[in-house]
């Protein structure tokens, strides 16, 4: 398959993933759909997100995800992210010296990686974490590869999460409660 056809096929797959995200109504549905579609379309064995741990931050509560999704979320301090994603605006691809990237792993999870793509995610225009894609093949991701489609997808995920969390905050402020009863994730905690 020549390069142009291969690139067109990759673009089509990214578009399918992006369109599937439009049906998600909650942050957990969005991430579940993202993980499932990326796995199906690109045969990526390791997909997870990492979020910045901050003092007085309610992001974990705001995401309101069931336990099985939290198992695919790594939490680390901003200083560690500074080492991994110094620009916080552009994806980083690597297939050498992967030890610093292990900090991105969810707690109690280890992946056999030989290459990784780390893509920044933002909320309200502020860096909040990353979408991480790993593979056992060292050829899957390497510095110098084009990341424009991956970056575009991460921007769409960020926009959708931003909108969902903003809508949830508005609903909570109107009802004056800590959990919105209309959310499909209402009442679901990490310990379930």
Q: What is the CATH number of the domain that holds 90?
A: 3.30.450.40
The verdict on residue 25 lying in a domain is yes
User: Is 13 inside a domain boundary?
Assistant: yes
Distance between CA 51 and CA 131 in Å, rounded?
9
pLDDT in tens, 89-109: 999 999 999 999 999 998 877
Phi then psi for residue 144, to 5 deg, are: 100, -15
Q: Is residue 188 part of a domain?
A: no
Sign, CA dihedral 91-50-176-30, equals positive
- Look at residue 185 and tell me if it is in a domain: no
Whether 41 is in a domain gets the answer yes
Number of structural domains in the chain: 1
Tens of pLDDT, residue by residue over 10-21, are 999 999 999 999
Q: Is position 192 within any domain?
A: no
- Assess whether pLDDT exceeds 80 at residue 150: yes
186, part of any domain: no
Range of the domain at 149: 3-175
What local confidence, expressed as pLDDT, does residue 175 receive? Answer: 62
Any domain includes 21 = yes
Q: What is the β-pairing status of strands 92-94 and 73-77?
A: unpaired
Residue 28 scores a pLDDT above 50: yes
pLDDT averaged over the chain? 84
- Give mean pLDDT, residues 123-149: 94
How far, in Å, are 14, 58, 75, 101, 123 from residue 151 at the CA level?
Answer: 11, 26, 21, 18, 15
């Amino acid at each position: 398959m020549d390069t142009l056809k291969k690139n067109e096929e990759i673009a089509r797959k990214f578009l399918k993933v992006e369109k599937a995200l439009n049906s998600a109504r909650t942050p957990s549905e969005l991430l579940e759909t993202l993980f499932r579609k990326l796995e199906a379309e690109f045969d990526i064995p390791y997909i997870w997100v990492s979020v910045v741990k901050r003092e007085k931050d309610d992001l974990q509560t705001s995401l309101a995800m069931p336990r099985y999704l939290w198992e695919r979320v790594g939490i680390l301090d901003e200083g560690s992210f500074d080492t991994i994603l110094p620009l916080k605006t552009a994806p980083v691809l690597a297939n050498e010296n992967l030890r610093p990237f292990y900090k991105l792993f969810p707690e109690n999870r280890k992946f056999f990686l030989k290459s990784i793509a780390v893509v920044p995610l933002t909320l309200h225009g502020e860096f909040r974490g990353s979408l991480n894609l790993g593979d056992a093949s060292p050829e899957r991701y390497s510095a110098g590869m084009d990341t424009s489609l991956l970056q575009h997808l991460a921007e769409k995920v960020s926009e959708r999460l931003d909108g969902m969390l903003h809508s949830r905050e508005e609903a909570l402020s109107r009802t004056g409660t800590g959990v919105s009863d209309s959310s499909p994730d209402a009442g679901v905690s990490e310990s379930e």
